[in-house]
């Protein structure tokens, strides 16, 4: 990791990443913004923010909208003005937005004009909502159009807060994670520079929104750090991703395991030969998904574990190194270890809590839960992992997703991976449900391939299959078929909703 200068504005650095006439942002409908155009447009917005709107360094500014070039321009403008970006998901609802604004002490909101409804409903006291893209008199872009097209970025300190990334978690109030200007560059200078290794010729795309730091890194920070281009998709389901790759000759793809599985079902109809790097994160990547993607594309998926608290990916592997069923090794710059509840090291080969530290880390905003996440300088991510003797890290489960049945510890993801290997299974999730005799038993929620009947014969077939590949105590005793699994807007499985449904 470079020694960042004491005065550092990460937005100014990223905007300087490409030549003025190099393409920076593209959209599938043919828009193309050069680095020079993005610099000019974000400069004009920064003038409105610091001029008539009165934004001062340190103000928290909410950013809400689908993944468009204007959202990126607003993000750059906020950071250049020395303010703090609080980017949320377009899918978030009024009460969630109200919580974010309250916790983050948000004073301004720049909002895509199509998404102002929920913000207005949130009724946040003293929040100034500024719509963009609708063309009205109060529209940010209209106000910005005759402003100067250069802006001297506020010389923030490298340790000034650049963004607050909110993590909803599964329970409790959302937590705001503070990240500094240097952190934003550090994720590019660690994971991206050493594992992904992009160049200015690359074209990135992917599904995670910019309100999820997986997307902010993969679609904005990493490409701009090397002067590459990013194709921004407002709608980024599996079909749109496949079409984008094929039509625009995308070279670097960021999405989650579920989307890779869904793409595989349709992939034969698309030319995916432009792809060079495919990153999978956000959830555990089953070995079967890794293998199926490799068989179809010849590409070795780059698996990674990241966290909003850590800003981006901190364990990963790429190229010939990447192994199905393993996450990888600590990204250069990060250190990891497996510990028990008393933070004592657990021997290699045995499961324990994943602890990590490096240039980025958790700083919750005014939240007691900081004490649980960071202990003795180590970030405890809430994942159970095993380190193999050769230093490779393998995911076992989220620490609270272990099932204990008749005294056996069962890792839910292992059972899910087994079920996913059955050709009739599209998605699978398992939980432990209370049982008088065994304490808990494994219950599976399964999404079946279209046309497969959700009946007793299918249950019997899945039981037979599970028993043929796993010891019986791990096999689900109960099955339920669902049309889809409950997920957060960022694609993470909401196991608590499955638990509530039983």
Chain residues that interact with ligand 3SK, rule: CB under 6 A:
213-214, 281-282, 304, 306-308, 312-313
What b/e string do you get for 427-439 counting C-beta neighbours within 10 Å, with b at 16 or more? bbbbbbbeeeebe
CB nearer to ligand 3SK: pick between 304 and 359: 304
Q: Check: CB of residue 259 under 8 Å from CB of residue 491.
A: yes
Q: Taking the complex as a whole, how short is the minimal distance between the CB of residue 243 and ligand 3SK, in angstroms? A: 24
List, in order, residues 6 or more apart from 292 with CB less than 8 Å away.
261, 264
Q: Taking the complex as a whole, how short is the minimal distance between the CB of residue 191 and ligand 3SK, in angstroms? A: 8
Q: Taking the complex as a whole, how short is the minimal distance between the CB of residue 283 and ligand 3SK, in angstroms? A: 7
Compute the chain's Rg from CA coordinates: 23
Q: Taking the complex as a whole, how short is the minimal distance between the CB of residue 361 and ligand 3SK, in angstroms? A: 13
DSSP structure string for 443-464: EEEEEEPTT---SHHHHHHHHH
- Helix, strand, coil fractions of the chain, as percent rounded to 5: 35, 25, 40
CB nearer to ligand 3SK: pick between 304 and 476: 304
CB nearer to ligand 3SK: pick between 122 and 259: 259
Q: Taking the complex as a whole, how short is the minimal distance between the CB of residue 59 and ligand 3SK, in angstroms? A: 24
CB nearer to ligand 3SK: pick between 316 and 418: 316
CB 54: neighbour CB atoms within 10 A?
11
Integer CA distances (angstroms), 422 to 262, 307, 419, in order: 15, 30, 6
Our measurement of the distance from residue 95's CA atom to the centroid of its chain's CA atoms, rounded to an integer in Å, reads 22
Integer CA distances (angstroms), 150 to 12, 16, 156, 405, in order: 11, 12, 18, 63
CB nearer to ligand 3SK: pick between 65 and 257: 257
Q: Taking the complex as a whole, how short is the minimal distance between the CB of residue 18 and ligand 3SK, in angstroms? A: 23
Determine the Cα–Cα distance for residues 101 and 39; give it in Å rounded to an integer. Answer: 28
CB nearer to ligand 3SK: pick between 216 and 442: 216
CB nearer to ligand 3SK: pick between 35 and 395: 395
Q: Taking the complex as a whole, how short is the minimal distance between the CB of residue 213 and ligand 3SK, in angstroms? A: 5
CB nearer to ligand 3SK: pick between 108 and 290: 290
Tokens of 39: 């610099």
CB nearer to ligand 3SK: pick between 1 and 454: 1
Cross-strand pairs, 253: 205, 278
Residue in the shown chain whose Cβ atom is closest to ligand 3SK: 306
CB nearer to ligand 3SK: pick between 213 and 289: 213
List, in order, residues 6 or more apart from 438 with CB less than 8 Å away.
405, 406
Tokens of 481: 């078929």
Q: Taking the complex as a whole, how short is the minimal distance between the CB of residue 36 and ligand 3SK, in angstroms? A: 29
Tokens of 181: 């200007």
Nearest to 286 by CA among 379, 476, 425: 425
Q: Taking the complex as a whole, how short is the minimal distance between the CB of residue 212 and ligand 3SK, in angstroms? A: 6
Q: Taking the complex as a whole, how short is the minimal distance between the CB of residue 83 and ligand 3SK, in angstroms? A: 22
Integer CA distances (angstroms), 489 to 29, 89, 208, 499, in order: 24, 8, 9, 19
């Amino acid at each position: 990791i470079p020694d960042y200068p004491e005065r550092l504005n990460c937005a100014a650095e990223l905007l300087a990443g490409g030549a003025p006439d190099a393409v920076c942002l593209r959209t599938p409908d043919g828009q193309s913004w050069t680095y020079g155009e993005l610099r000019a447009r974000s400069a004009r917005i920064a003038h409105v923010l610091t001029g008539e709107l009165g934004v001062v360094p340190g103000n928290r500014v909410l950013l809400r909208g689908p993944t468009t070039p204007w959202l990126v321009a607003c993000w750059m403008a906020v950071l250049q003005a020395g303010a703090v970006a609080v980017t949320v998901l377009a899918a978030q609802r009024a009460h969630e937005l109200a919580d974010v604004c309250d916790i983050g002490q948000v004073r301004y909101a720049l909002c895509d004009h199509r998404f102002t409804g929920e913000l207005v409903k949130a009724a946040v006291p003293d929040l100034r909502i500024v719509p963009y893209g609708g063309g009205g008199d109060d529209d940010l872009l209209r106000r910005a159009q005759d402003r100067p097209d250069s802006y001297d970025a506020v010389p923030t300190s490298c340790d000034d807060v650049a963004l607050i990334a909110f993590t909803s978690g599964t329970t409790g109030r959302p937590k705001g994670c503070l990240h500094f200007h240097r952190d934003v560059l550090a994720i590019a200078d660690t994971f991206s520079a050493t594992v992904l290794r992009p160049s200015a010729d690359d074209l990135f795309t992917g599904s995670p929104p910019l309100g999820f730091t997986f997307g902010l890194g993969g679609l904005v920070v990493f490409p701009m750090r090397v002067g590459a281009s990013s194709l921004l998709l407002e709608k980024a389901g599996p079909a749109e991703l496949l079409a984008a790759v094929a039509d625009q000759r995308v070279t670097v793809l960021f999405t989650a395991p579920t989307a890779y599985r869904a793409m595989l079902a349709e992939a034969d109809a698309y030319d995916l030969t432009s792809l060079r790097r495919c990153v999978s994160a956000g959830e555990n990547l089953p070995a079967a998904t890794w293998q199926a993607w490799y068989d179809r594309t010849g590409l070795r998926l780059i698996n990674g574990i990241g966290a909003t608290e850590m800003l981006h990916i901190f364990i990963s592997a790429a190229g010939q190194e990447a192994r199905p069923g393993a996450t990888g090794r600590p990204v250069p710059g990060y250190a990891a270890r497996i510990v028990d509840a008393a933070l004592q090291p657990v021997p290699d080969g045995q499961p324990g809590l994943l602890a990590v530290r490096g240039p980025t880390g958790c700083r919750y905003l005014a939240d007691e839960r900081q004490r649980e996440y960071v202990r003795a300088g180590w970030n405890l991510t809430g994942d159970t992992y095993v380190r193999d003797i050769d230093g490779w890290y393998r995911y076992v489960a989220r620490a609270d997703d272990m099932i204990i049945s008749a005294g056996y510890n069962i890792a839910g993801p292992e059972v899910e991976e087994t079920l996913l290997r059955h050709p009739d299974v599209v998605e699978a999730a398992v939980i432990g449900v209370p049982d008088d005799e065994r304490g808990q038993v494994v219950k599976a929620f399964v999404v079946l391939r279209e046309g497969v009947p959700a009946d007793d014969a299918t249950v019997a077939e899945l039981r037979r299959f599970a028993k043929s590949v796993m010891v019986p105590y791990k096999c689900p005793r109960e099955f339920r078929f669902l049309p889809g699994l409950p997920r957060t807007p960022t694609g993470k499985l909401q196991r608590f909703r499955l638990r509530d449904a039983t």
